[in-house]
Structure 1
Amino acid sequence: MKCALVTGGSRGIGRAICYKMAQMGYYVLINYKSNQGEADKTLAQIKQDGGDGELLKFDVADKVDIQQVLNGWIEANTEKYVEILINNAGVKDDVLLMWMKDEQWDNVIKTSLDGFFYVTRLLINDMLVRRYGRIVNVVSLSGLKGLPGQINYSAAKAGVIGATKALAQEVGRRGITVNAVAPGFIKTDMTEGLDEKSLKAMIPVHRFGTPEEVAHAVGFLASAEAAYITGEVLSINGGLYS
């Protein structure tokens, strides 16, 4: 059974990507860290729409947790394999550098950058053996442009962008593509505190994006038809920055 793993899949962009993967016919592994209620809602909707999947609770910032839970699932489910990996999990903890605490730096870096490394390393070997795989990393406008107050988040996402380009060169000959999508301002709970009225005036399409619009782009990059696209970062920001 072909599976798609979506980290941080319980809500927001991650939830929309889970729905998209289910629509594409994949058995969806919905990773979440702590919000069981939202994860349950995501899985329930997938099943209601005729798809299937299961929840995988682990912290992508914790390599021991990843090893125990994700590797444990791999060993226990020999009839299933992860063909699609969407590294979506990420957190923000915004503050100016001069006031940033060690734990604010560590938590944001570990969730995005360490999470990418440990989860991808665990799954890449099976993709190499099968000579097929799709890896899509959800990064950010912040990782391309840099945003004040987001030194940690910008550094984390820029790191994943660099890793995306490097890994694409390592595994391309084995039928594995590695790409990234870089959303701008998307209407999720992560942008609820922003001044949408003033910010959308800066965006050429004059609105925030939707999680579904990001998921559609992820679905394309995760498809068989995108086989000749790798090492790319697709901006989804309404023309704000390119």
Structure 2
Amino acid sequence: MSDQAQPATGTMTQAFRLDGQRILITGAAGGIGAAIARACFEQGADVLLTDRSSCEALATELGRDGRSAPWLEADIGHADTPARLAEWAGDIDALVLAAGIYRPIDWDHDDWEQQASLAYDINLKAPMRMARTFAPRMAARGKGRMVLIGSVAALTGGTFPGVGPHYAVSKGGLHTLVRYLAARYTAAGLLINGVAPGTIDTPMLKDIDLETAVAKQPLKRAARPDEVAWPVAFLCSPAASFISGAILDINGGNYSRP
């Protein structure tokens, strides 16, 4: 049995710590990805940041206490990016696939074909490529964690106007990918899970009327990015040593599964 698949030991506080863990986070320049990086870093992890935009600001912020947060600018949509990231990062203990794209258009929009292709490439095909590169390497070490960022839209088909079927389908496919990977790699000690956020207040939703979008939701507000980040950090921690193949709902009670 791998080290990370062993039951958590020690105090509850220790079970949630990430000391000594090397965690690669995609989409880390802002939004949920940056919040995940901060949460994991605070829990003691060495974080490796990557995004198609510069992560310099976040790396500088995290490096204020003397620890470093290396970063690499890379477009997750390029087919050669996973191999490039694997060479740069080396052995990692956890991979968080937070990079994603959302454009508030439905399928009657003139630009739908292009936006649909982009959603499939970034939200589904890119994580699949990353998993295809990293999962065998992590499994060969007999330990590891992988967390994929899905969406409540995969379950509901969309929670407010503008969530086209391409976005919902891309995230639904990502949830299926979690289950596929867990079925294939859990026995090797690689625990793979996902989270399904609801409405999160990030720049990705800058074109959405959030007040209207959340008016009918139980908590009447959007979540902060850190409210997604802490559950992700938990899934990377020893406290989650018996969880694999799960999709954790983070939607403020907006949707409950049957």
User: TM-score, normalised on structure 1?
Assistant: 0.90
- What amino acid sits opposite 2:70 in the alignment? E
Residue 110 of structure 1, aligned match among 106, 117, 121: 121
Report Cα offsets for 1:41-63 as digits up to 9, x if no partner.
11111111454221122111111
Aligned: 1:96 with 2:110 = no
Q: How many Å separate the matches in 1 of 2:167 and 2:181? A: 21
Tell me, what secondary structure is at the counterpart of 1:124?
helix
Structure 1 position 227, deviation (Å): 1.3
Mapped to 2, the partners of 1:188 and 1:194 lie a distance apart of: 10
Q: Could you say which residue in structure 2 is the equivalent of 1:4?
A: 23
Q: 2:143 pairs with 116, 132, 135, which one?
A: 132
Contact 2:104 2:207 in 1 (8 A): no
Match of 2:180 in 1: 166
Question: One-letter code of the match for 2:140?
Answer: V
C-alpha deviations, 1:139-178, integer Å up to 9, x for none? 1111121125321111111001001011111111122111
Could you list the runs of 4 or more consecutive aligned residues of structure 1 that deviate by over 3 angstroms after TM superposition? none
Q: Distance in 2 between matches of 1:73 and 1:195?
A: 40
Q: Using the alignment, how far apart are the partners of 1:51 and 1:22 within structure 2?
A: 9
The CA distance in 1 between the partners of 2:86 and 2:32, in whole Å, is 25
RMSD of aligned Cα (Å): 1.6
Identity score, percent: 30
The residue that corresponds to 1:209 in the other structure is: 223
AA matched with 1:118: R
Partner residue in 1 for 2:69: 53
Higher helix share: 1
| Whole-Å separation in 1 of the counterparts to 2:211 and 2:65 | 34
Number of the residue aligned with 1:178? 192
Return the match for 2:42 from 12, 18, 23: 23
Stretches of structure 2 that go unaligned for 5 or more consecutive residues are 1-19
Q: Secondary structure at the match of 2:92?
A: strand
Output the CA distance in 2 between the equivalents of 1:16 and 1:5: 13
Structure 2: distance between partners of 1:211 and 1:49? 23
Alignment coverage as a number of residue pairs: 233
Does 2:86 align with 1:85?
no
Code of the residue aligned with 1:89 in structure 2: it is: A
What displacement does 1:179 show? 0.8
1:22–1:52: 8 Å Cα contact kept in structure 2?
no
SS of equivalent residue, structure 2 residue 87? helix
Q: After TM superposition, give the deviation of residue 8 of structure 1 in Å.
A: 0.4
Match of 2:255 in 1: 241
Other structure's SS at 1:190 match: helix
5+ unaligned residues in a row in structure 1: which ranges? none
